Amino acid sequence: MTVVGFILYSSKAVLVKLAYQYDIDSVSLLLFRMLFALPFYVGVWLYHKKEWNARSLSKKERLGILGIGITGYYLSSFFDFKGLSYITASLERLILYTYPTMVLILSAVFLRKKISLKMILSILFTYAGMIIIFTDEGGILTGNNEELLLGSIFVGLSAFFYASYMVISYAVVSGIGSIRLTTYSMIISCILVFIHYFITTNSNLLGYQAEVYLYSIGMAVFATVIPSFMINEGIKRLGAPNVSIIGTIGPVSTITLSILLLGEMLTLTQFGGGLIIIGGVAFLTWNRRKK
């Protein structure tokens, strides 16, 4: 179930790039994603409303849900969509995949988790792979240097906020339940995206080509609603470290879809750098799992 969740979630970047071909900005596309996803979460909330009302949330749990809604599904998604307007889907996924290293660092800083020498070496190994990719030319490094830098920074911020979501989620999900946590946090995220759109963007929501709405529905259902429940349930059953190991399939799936649907190609150097990143993160999460 968790594997399927990561494969579906990894298709998001490809769907975003396909939608960008029809002249839509990142905030409007993110709005459509949340707009089409919201009814599903509201439906789940109404179905479980009586059951959930019988067990009130503590202040800590409410703050945790709010934190997840802000970091995981609002800020992380916003910066991800913004970054994808500048860089390729394959590069986006490889940068985003470094989030477990950030989970480790955040856990050490805020939860006082110890970092072993093996973990430090894994982190260095992972970022060495990223450096190898950026020292190359062509392939997935399309566009000018300024766009590459800006897009990479945006996706790096997305990875940071996604890591924050993972840390908060693991601390909160056991007491609330994955379905309730996902539903509440996603509704909060949808509301925040709506507010963001109406403050910053002035576009005709009915003026886009049909393909934009079809890709948005695909993102909402298959790359948002379904994987959000699957991944959070995986965190509940397996724990964040084990889920991070399963997440190794994410960049492989995205790169494969990018090659098939977007015509993206990695150079041999970039392919090697990608393998180093995936290997570094897999080794890191495996060591955390053993502890």
**Could you give the dihedral angle defined by the CA atoms of residues 32, 38, 39 and 41, in that order, rounded to the nearest 10 degrees?**
150
Report yes or no: 259 and 93 within 8 Å, Cβ to Cβ: no
Residue 251, in any domain of the structure: no
Q: Which structure tokens are listed for 46?
A: 């109404």
Residue 143 pLDDT greater than 80, yes or no:
no
Residue 30, in any domain of the structure: yes
User: Which helix (H) or strand (E) element contains residue 61?
Assistant: helix 59-70
Percent of the chain with pLDDT over 90: 52
What's the CA gap between 28 and 201, in Å, rounded?
7
From 291, 282, 290, 280, select the one nearest 124 (Cα to Cα): 280
Query: For residue 223, what are the domain limits?
Result: 2-114+145-239
Per-residue pLDDT, 176: 80
Residue 233, in any domain of the structure: yes
pLDDT in tens, 17-33: 999 999 999 999 999 99
Residue 18, in any domain of the structure: yes
pLDDT in tens, 160-181: 999 998 888 777 766 787 789 8
Using pLDDT thresholds of 50, 70 and 90, give the confidence band for residue 291: low
Residue 242 pLDDT greater than 70, yes or no:
no
Q: Which structure tokens are listed for 171?
A: 């601390």
Per-residue pLDDT, 289: 59
From 3, 13, 81, select the one nearest 259 (Cα to Cα): 13
Residue 128, in any domain of the structure: no
Residue 74, in any domain of the structure: yes
Angle between helices 145-176 and 76-84 (to 10 degrees): 150
Domains in the chain, number: 1
Residue 27, in any domain of the structure: yes
Q: Which residue has the higher pLDDT, 291 or 269?
A: 269
Residue 227, in any domain of the structure: yes
pLDDT in tens, 34-89: 999 999 999 999 999 999 988 888 888 899 899 999 998 899 999 999 999 999 99
